[in-house]
Structure 1
Amino acid sequence: MSMMVKQAVHDIDTPTGPMRCYLYRPNAEGPFSTIIFYSEIFQQTAPIARAAAIMAGHGFVVLVPEVFHELNPLGTVLAYDDAGKDKGNQDKFTKGLEHHDSDTQALVEFAQRQPFCSSLVGAMGVCIGGHLAYRAALNSDVVGAFCLYPTDIHSNTLPCNKGNDSLSRTGDIQGELALVFGRQDPHVDVAGRQLIYAKLSETKRCFSWLEVNAQHAFMRDEGERYDPALALQMYGQAVAFFQRVLR
């Protein structure tokens, strides 16, 4: 069933300050399962907004949080240029994973209070957002995560308390994971992918794994690395994944 999508903006209280969150949901009677959609370092750009709307149009409530809300004025969107990349990377290496965890908990609690949301919550993301979706699956209320080319899991380069990095915590994930990597992605090389795969296998997590011939950010419908046919295929896989794990 195709659905029109309605949008809203909410500022959600978190332990580290207010977090702007963009909500997309079917313009129909609910309740619907929720997907927390974590963006790239640039926050909610036009490509991220379009991706969220696509998922919402398949029957989900989609929440897009500003992942670096503590470090920028609410509503900040960074440009896909060198200045935006430098600021986004600075933010990425400033914010601790523990603060991302408390953001996720605030998003879960927000969803659980909405009359149009069911009790089921999943996570999805691209780039650092793929990492944050993986990380969100540490939350017992997040039953599935679809992680597109997640960065910094293998390298343990994001700030956190000792032993609390996402790779080390893999065994604490209870929900199902789906991970997608581009073989030509320089941010997560073969050795990095093998490290993540080995940790998931060693800890006997429930996961699926897909490597495609694509560059980093192949989902982003702006720029030279965009692969429209592959992006369409991944949207289909993500929808099927969430229709199954969030049913």
Structure 2
Amino acid sequence: MLITEYFVDLQTPTGQMRVHVFHPPKLNKYPGVAVFTEIYQVTGPVQRFCRQICSQGYIVATPESYHEFLPLGHVIPYDTPGTDLGNKLKIEKSLKGYDDDSKVLLDYLESLSSCTGSLGATGMCLGCAFDKRVKAAVCYFPTDIHKESLSSGSDSLERTGEIKGELLMIFGKQDTHIPQEGRLKIYTNLVEKNVLFSWCEFQAQHAFIRDESSKGRIVL
């Protein structure tokens, strides 16, 4: 499939946010998918992930989550200083900032004449399942939820009852960021809140779907 790739700079309450868009051939209307990156922003592995989704017939949009702190277009390297920076910024960014960015991103997808208006979300670590427009969300190793440690302290487990779409939760059993007790806490919460979800665990470590700098996390 020939994929058209471009970026748009969208206005958020905390400044401009660059959004990278991957669009199928403009022959039909397509559902939209918001893809949220890991702490390194829009890296090569994230771009390839977006292309895979787009090739299945979705308009894909992925934002630079740390636009408040970094120049537009900045990619954080997969190294120790880069990891430290990403972990620092994920705490410094406000919860409202994450929610505002998600709204702007979904608004943009909805505004496209080539979008059907059906929206989904996926991502590595981050996501936006609380937005009622999201009909389904695929959550790859959703991080910080069991400790509510995103930003200055999050409230995801308190709010899971607000989720209207279906979830697919994907984890690695060797993931030290989300240990067994953390996964059990999330699972129990989703059951108690009557959220519609499926659950998958694999013999893998954190970020195992990344095809670069994976540190031997998984070999298929």
Q: TM over 0.5: same fold?
A: yes
Contact 1:182 1:212 in 2 (8 A): yes
What number of residue pairs does the alignment pair up? 219
RMSD, aligned α-carbons: 1.3
1:96 match: 94
Whole-angstrom CA distance in 1 between matches of 2:114 and 2:21: 12
1:173 match: 163
Equivalent residue letter for 2:183: R
CA offset digits 1:128-152 (Å, max 9, x no partner): x2xxx2xx11111111110001110
Alpha-carbon distance, 1:226 to partner: 4.8
1:233 match: none
Whole-angstrom CA distance in 2 between matches of 1:183 and 1:137: 23
CA offset digits 1:161-208 (Å, max 9, x no partner): 7xx611111111111111000000000000000000000000000000
Alpha-carbon distance, 1:225 to partner: 3.1
Contact 2:30 2:59 in 1 (8 A): yes
Query: Which 5+ residue runs of structure 2 have no aligned equivalent?
Result: none
1:225 match: 216
User: Which secondary structure does the structure 1 equivalent of 2:6 belong to?
Assistant: strand
1:149 and 2:141 equivalent?
yes
2:185 match: 195
Equivalent residue letter for 1:109: D
Whole-angstrom CA distance in 1 between matches of 2:151 and 2:79: 24
1:87 match: 85
100, 105, 108: which one aligns with 2:106: 108
37, 40, 56: which one aligns with 2:38: 40
1:31 match: 29
Equivalent residue letter for 2:74: T
**Percent pairwise identity:** 39
Whole-angstrom CA distance in 1 between matches of 2:115 and 2:141: 28
Greater helix share, structure number: 1
Query: Which 5+ residue runs of structure 1 have no aligned equivalent?
Result: 230-247
Contact 1:20 1:74 in 2 (8 A): yes
